[in-house]
Amino acid sequence: MAEAVPSQITVAKADFLDDLPKFMEGKAVEPVITSFEEQRRKFKLIEQQFVQRKARLMMKQPEIQKALDIVKMLLEKEEQAEMIMDYELAEGVYSKAKLAGVKTVNLWLGAGIMVEYSLKDAKVRASVDGDIETIRDNITTLDVSLSRVWNFDVERRRLEREKGEKGEAQ
């Protein structure tokens, strides 16, 4: 469960347990379930942080969309030697600018913070939807694994009880 998920963040990926009996070999059920529940709590916390981040971004949606549109346009015209663009100096005040060899953009993050990104990174940074989906997939995988471990334990106990009953009957 240490494989990195391709994203702008690095999160351990929750693996699906293909061979549950082999995985559980020599392990007690309670520590495995505790471990899965702890991982699930971590993923839920990360999911909550991303949902909150998305809500904050949605409030800034017009600005972000404008920045994303510009980044996409710059990516499309990356091969051009020179471009002439209108840019906003202040609300309703525009000027023309010649751009040549644009490889990076500066994105205003707010609170006095501006960060320089490559054009491709800037496009990825403006979206959290993929990260939320990745986290939710991991939570679902952990939920399935937890259920399978519980069911495995129930089945194991049932078989042990049946063996005990057969031993008593003989």
Beta strands in 16-92 (DSSP E): 82-90
pLDDT number for residue 103: 81
What is the pLDDT of the chain when averaged over all its residues?
A: 78
Local confidence band at 66 (pLDDT 50, 70, 90 cut-offs): confident
Local confidence band at 170 (pLDDT 50, 70, 90 cut-offs): low
Q: Within a domain: residue 21?
A: no
Q: Within a domain: residue 132?
A: yes
Q: Within a domain: residue 54?
A: yes
pTM for this entry: 0.49
Share of the chain above pLDDT 70, in %: 81
Q: Based on the structure, what is the number of domains in the chain?
A: 1
Q: Within a domain: residue 6?
A: no
Q: Within a domain: residue 16?
A: no
Q: State mean pLDDT over 71-91.
A: 80
Does residue 85 contact residue 99 with C-beta atoms inside 8 Å?
A: yes
CB proximity list for 68: less than 8 A, separation 6 or greater: 123, 126
Alpha helices (H) along 94-128: 119-125
The range of the structural domain enclosing residue 109 comes to 30-76+102-150
